[in-house]
Amino acid sequence: MAFLIRMGQPEMESLWLDLTTRKQQGKLDKDEEKFFKKLVKALGYLKENPRHNSLASHEIDDLTRKYGLKIFQSYLENNTPSAGRLFWAYGPDKGDITVLAIEPHPEDQKRGAYQRIKLSTFPAAKPKSHGKG
């Protein structure tokens, strides 16, 4: 059974519209073109079989607990998490799959901010005690 693929609103939908419009106009740059190709391939697999081996789909328990909805993650490239990930859920209707988010976010790519090693701000240091006085 093939699923109907839908995009989450509003961001994912507008992102897809932007990508597809620019693809048709031939305005995607080299990196975006590469990313779009991977995305379409992954969505194709997702449509036919969400458990396709290439997707390595698995439920993210933390997100499922947080949102009270089963949320799955699939890879854009076979067994390569760093190549990008899709987050999706079944619904809203039976036979539907809604793509909730993608990573890397295209804005991150444009700015070159997506890196394999991510650094975050350092947690606030505890003040050192300098003894009595």
Distances (CA, A) of 73 to 33, 64, 77, 83, 85: 22, 11, 12, 13, 7
Which residue number, 1 or 117, has a Cβ lying nearer to other proteins? 117
- To the nearest whole angstrom, how small is the minimum distance from the Cβ of residue 78 to other proteins? 17
Distances (CA, A) of 53 to 50, 61, 63, 72, 126: 9, 20, 22, 14, 46
> Interface residues with other proteins (CB under 8 A)?
4-13, 15-16, 20, 23, 36, 40-41, 43-44, 47, 63, 67, 69, 71, 81-82, 87, 89, 91-92, 96, 98-105, 107-108, 114, 116-123, 125
- To the nearest whole angstrom, how small is the minimum distance from the Cβ of residue 77 to other proteins? 14
